[in-house]
Amino acid sequence: MYNEALEDAIAKTKRNIGRFGKRFPHVSNDGVYELNDNTDWTNGFWSGMLWLSYEHTKDEAFRNAALDTVESFRDRLDNRLHLDHHDIGFLYSLSSKAKWMIERDEQAKRMTIEAADVLMKRWRAEGRYLQAWGAKGDADNGGRIIVDCMMNLPLLYWAFEKTGNEEYKKVAIQHADKSRRFLIRGDDSSYHTFYFNPADGEAIRGGTAQGYMDGSTWTRGQAWAIYGFALSYRYTGNQLYLETAKRTAVYFIEHLPEDQVAYWDFDAPVTAETKRDSSASAIVACGLLEIIGHLESSDPLLVYFQDAVHRTMRSLIERYSTIGQADAQGLLEHGSYSVRGGASPDDFMIWGDYYYMEALMRLQNGHKGYWYE
């Protein structure tokens, strides 16, 4: 089943090279991907899909298209275009860093370290966090972190390992510790965002941007926490991060509906109209596979997590994937970008497609993704 799904995903990715050209898919409307010129936080995912497909097939068409994306990321970095946010890890881990990992290309390595330096500029020493959005001092966002940033930290840990400069790692650890303390609640659910006083880092309150309400658990945010803390554990060996990844994963699994694919927010009232976010479940499948790799065979959660991965992947393949629709542009239907904001509440999301493919690669041939090496 996983093999058939992976082959289908790769065939669709190949067809999309011709469709997308040098542009990048973001989210879809009525089954057609919106394309842009590498201007959004999502552009790395297309690059990552091309690199995964290349590694699986060794087909040069994938490599050539992936190299084009890396060129585009070079230009984006040189001109500091659309990099005024914290999602630098999402962008450069799957593009230039993947190129370094696969080809040991020194220029790609230097480019990725340069990208890490751009992320470091968002460190606010007074408040001791990485500012997610907006310029320093921004009235709404100057003191704000968001849980998604846990997936940007691997870029900093990696830059430390490549350069020996401890600042990258210190920043990543301080941000992960702050996220663990303030974004993760006592019952292992999570806030999407948290506000601090930017002058001294004093905690103010939790909130949301894409969730149902300020105190709710936006399922994709919980997914970023699960995979992000597992990766912080991978890089640091800090057991507290693994513990947090495990606990947030149990919360996610215990709150799934019968078909094992998450609604967009665990606190949104469930009616026949409530939207899913298949992308959250695809991210969690990867996060669980990452966690499983760190568990002792005697760990009571091992079989529980393995079952959860297979139940989720089976449901994604059988009920949410576009297997059987040869012309479909996307791989996973029923993702939700922002139900609250009315943006693509039930469509293809390029990150949903990416994590679905990464999970299939992990299951099929033990690939570990491009978040760490």
Catalytic residues: 87, 148
If one counts every other C-beta atom within 10 angstroms of the C-beta of residue 98, the result is: 28
Contacting ligand GLY within 231-270 (CB under 6 A): none
Shortest Cβ distance from residue 210 to ligand GLY (Å)? 6
Question: Which of 124, 169, 220, 234 contacts ligand GLY by CB under 6 A?
Answer: 220
Identify which of residues 46 and 160 has a Cβ nearer to ligand GLY in the complex.
46
| Contact (CB, 8 A) for 187 and 251 | yes
Total interface residues for ligand GLY by CB under 6 A: 4
* 206 in a known ligand binding site: yes
> Could you please report the per-residue DSSP string of 68-97?
HHHHHHHHHHHTT-S--BSTHHHHHHTTHH
> Could you please report the per-residue DSSP string of 35-55?
EESS-STTHHHHHHHHHHHHH
Q: How deeply is 237 buried, as exposed, middle or buried, from its count of CB atoms within 10 A (0-12, 13-18, 19+)?
A: exposed
109 belongs to the binding site for ligand GLY (CB under 6 A): no
* 247 in a known ligand binding site: no
Find the length of the chain.
373
Identify which of residues 127 and 352 has a Cβ nearer to ligand GLY in the complex.
352
* 148 in a known ligand binding site: yes
Question: 256: closest CA among 213, 285, 299, 227?
Answer: 285
Shortest Cβ distance from residue 178 to ligand GLY (Å)? 18
Amino acid type, 48: G
Contacting ligand GLY within 196-215 (CB under 6 A): 210
* CA-based end-to-end distance of the chain: 28
148 belongs to the binding site for ligand GLY (CB under 6 A): yes
* 338 in a known ligand binding site: yes
Contact partners, residue 350, CB within 8 Å, separation at least 6: 24, 25, 26, 27, 33, 42, 45, 46, 49, 330
277 belongs to the binding site for ligand GLY (CB under 6 A): no
Task: Convert residues 18-47 into a mask of x (bound to ligand GLY by CB under 6 A) and - (unbound).
Answer: -----------------------x------
Question: From the annotation, which residues make up the binding site?
Answer: 87, 148, 206, 208, 220, 224, 338
Residue ranges binding ligand GLY (CB under 6 A): 41, 148, 210, 220
Question: From the annotation, which residues make up the binding site for substrate?
Answer: 87, 148, 206, 208, 220, 224, 338
